[in-house]
Structure 1
Amino acid sequence: MDWNCKFSSKEEQSAAASASGFIGTQLSPVRSEVSLCVGSHLIPHPNKVEKGGEDAFFTSSYSGGVLAIADGVSGWAEEDVDPALFSRELIANASGFVPDEEVNYDPQVLIRKAHAATSSIGSATVIVAMLERNGTLKIANVGDCGLKLIREGQIIFSTTPQEHYFDCPYQLSSETVGQTYLDAMVSSLEAIEGDIIVMGSDGLFDNVFDHEIVSTIGQHRNVSDAAKVLANLARVHSLDSSYDSPYALEARSKGIEPPWWKKIIGMQLTGGKLDDITVIVAQIVSSL
């Protein structure tokens, strides 16, 4: 199959990569340089459509490829602070520091420099993944944005959400009492040609189960299509008050009670979680 996969620049941190699609190759250990073929999709919270939501992301073709998502913490709106400002500036700074010599293609250092350069008031969860051309995938995340690596229809790696307690994730902040790059969960693994990366804000993972992610990836050969379908699936689930979502299951496991009117009629806590939804889908492909 002849194909091309080139990144296209767009405004600000919402730059998304255009991609021709998933490549049907036989999986084998990486013998040549690899890069990322990327698709992305963002759906704002229904009440935040006009301002574009509070998630921010960027993708870059630097070296093997870089992916990053930041999710602005909505609680700042109660203090008349736009939660989107911090996440957008953080991501814009991270994008600019990618080729910095001091970063040296280390996602944890990239988070440190981006955070230090961010002057907006607010806070955000963040995840950064950097693919080296030899196939080494480096990941650093603070909070509950996540990444899953799929190989031959199986999830072989998942990041673990970090939270102080239910619905209160670790977060980088303009306040001195928040987390820093030192609190990031750092991972490194060897990716091979044909592997699929699914990265998202918690709006994806709170509403879509792993088996749905794997099934969707298996049904869509194009990375852009897969990202869009996953984001739309998360949106549909988030609006369904009867859907037994991953978010509802976790809430019940933590002892969270349903509204009083549900308790009276014997109903349990169910439903999706309304949120901004950002999805990035990337395939590991040969640079040749």
Structure 2
Amino acid sequence: MRAAFSRHAKCLPKSHVSHGIRSFSTGPRPYKIHMGVSYAGKPPFEDEADMSRSFPNEHPIAKWRDRLLKWPKGLPTTGAGQDFFYVQNMKNDSGISFGVADGVGGWGPIFDPSLFSQAIMYHASRVAAQRWAGEPETDPIADGGDMALVDVGTQTTPEECMQLAYRGVLREKFVDGGASTATIMQINSKSGLLQAANLGDSGFSIFRSSSLYYSQAPQTHYFNCPRQLAKYPAKSRWSRDIIADFPEHAATYSTRLRHGDVVIAFTDGLSDNVWPSELLQCVTHVLRSNVPEARQAQDLADICVHLAMQSMHRYDKVSPFEMESQRSRFRHYGGKVDDVTVIVALISEII
């Protein structure tokens, strides 16, 4: 289990392929963004057996969560464990916003980490739905072909989205406490501009022309203790020991995407078990398949999660987590059993 306190230290089987795919065509824009999502929660440890305290069925977050968990993925897994995610069309079909979060353990049995990760993703999704994906300030694809002004006041960036979502969690009465990493990204469907904000050891990679174009470095305080957004009750005895980071500590990144680029956002259940070179092999394999691009995006998400699930139970393979543990003078061998969530965005240019 990862620390929340400063005092602690093969390809997817054909039978698993789903026929449900999702492609987000964001209106009459130059880019179409094909999205794939897959996830798998780890079996609960004995000390976590009594931790689960889900949102009530009538709670807005519970209804939203259950809708997202019906995403037509190809793996026969149910919940996302302490991870969660969102995929949201932005205002005026200006782009796509998406993100992943990983609830941080170490808070004891009274705080379920999944509540925080679900809440931060829910509020990020709400913010993104009401916001413009950024530039431009005018829309040349308006009725009549005129340059119609866009509502500049509703533009946002991923770091601003993270700030507003974090405030939403702090106001959320059902979330008494907890912590989570957060990765929030958005892609402008007209310009191809990708913007990202990453806090913690979740992250993302961009693949271009059969090579790894960019990989977001994880943010940690020390081994197995990521940077984390946190909430704790007032007058808590933990207030002096808690590690609490803030949205302004997030690493930001932006770049222009182009046709054929693949963006993979993930929690550390993937990056702790799968090497970037293995991810590249998965990307290359899927992009060579003779299926529609929307199907490729979903197949790639499923294959990444499947590979992580296989790797975390292997002891004959040196994992990224094992390598990092040795650098930190810890002894860990093989993969790391964890929840894993993957979002894939495949970019195609509209001709």
Query: When the two structures are superposed, what TM-score results if normalisation uses the length of structure 2?
Result: 0.67
Are the counterparts in 2 of residues 18 and 39 from structure 1 also a CA contact under 8 Å? yes
Question: How far off its partner does 1:52 sit?
Answer: 4.2
Are the counterparts in 1 of residues 23 and 33 from structure 2 also a CA contact under 8 Å? no
Q: Partner residue of 2:66?
A: none
Alpha carbons of structure 1 residues 43 and 50: separation in structure 2 relative to 1, 3 Å: closer
1:60 aligns with 2:88: yes
Q: Partner residue of 2:135?
A: none
What CA distance in whole angstroms lies between the structure 2 residues aligned with 1:18 and 1:71? 25
Q: Partner residue of 2:215?
A: 158
Are the counterparts in 2 of residues 207 and 247 from structure 1 also a CA contact under 8 Å? yes
Letter in 2 for 1:169: P
1:69 aligns with 2:100: yes
Question: How far off its partner does 1:46 sit?
Answer: 2.2
1:240 aligns with 2:240: no
Are the counterparts in 1 of residues 40 and 79 from structure 2 also a CA contact under 8 Å? no
Identity between Structure 1 and Structure 2 (%)? 29
Letter in 2 for 1:170: R
What CA distance in whole angstroms lies between the structure 2 residues aligned with 1:181 and 1:46? 30
Letter in 2 for 1:146: G
Query: When the two structures are superposed, what TM-score results if normalisation uses the length of structure 1?
Result: 0.81
1:227 aligns with 2:301: yes
Alpha carbons of structure 1 residues 38 and 79: separation in structure 2 relative to 1, 3 Å: same
Q: Partner residue of 1:125?
A: 181
Alpha carbons of structure 1 residues 81 and 67: separation in structure 2 relative to 1, 3 Å: same
Question: Which segment is superposed worse, 89-98 or 50-59?
Answer: 50-59
1:86 aligns with 2:116: yes
What CA distance in whole angstroms lies between the structure 2 residues aligned with 1:210 and 1:83? 27
What CA distance in whole angstroms lies between the structure 1 residues aligned with 2:341 and 2:129? 24
Structure 1 gaps of 5+ residues are: 1-16, 22-31, 259-268
Q: Partner residue of 1:110?
A: 161
Counterpart selection for 1:201 from 257, 267, 274? 267
Question: Higher Cα Rg: structure 1 or 2?
Answer: 2
What CA distance in whole angstroms lies between the structure 1 residues aligned with 2:79 and 2:192? 37
Counterpart selection for 1:36 from 30, 33, 36? 33
- In the TM superposition, what are the counterparts of 1:170-209 in structure 2 within 5 Å? 170-175=227-232, 178-209=244-275
Deviations along 1:143-195, one digit per CA (max 9) or x if unpaired, are 01111000011111111100000000000011476111110101111111110
Letter in 2 for 1:69: V
What CA distance in whole angstroms lies between the structure 2 residues aligned with 1:51 and 1:232? 15
Q: Partner residue of 2:63?
A: none
Letter in 2 for 1:171: Q
Are the counterparts in 2 of residues 35 and 64 from structure 1 also a CA contact under 8 Å? no
Count of aligned positions: 250
Are the counterparts in 2 of residues 105 and 130 from structure 1 also a CA contact under 8 Å? no
Structure 2 gaps of 5+ residues are: 1-19, 46-76, 132-152, 233-238, 288-295
What CA distance in whole angstroms lies between the structure 1 residues aligned with 2:157 and 2:104? 25
Moved over 6 A (4+): none
Are the counterparts in 1 of residues 103 and 114 from structure 2 also a CA contact under 8 Å? yes
Question: Which segment is superposed worse, 173-182 or 222-231?
Answer: 173-182
1:18 aligns with 2:21: yes
Are the counterparts in 2 of residues 137 and 191 from structure 1 also a CA contact under 8 Å? yes
Letter in 2 for 1:131: I
Q: Partner residue of 1:214?
A: 280
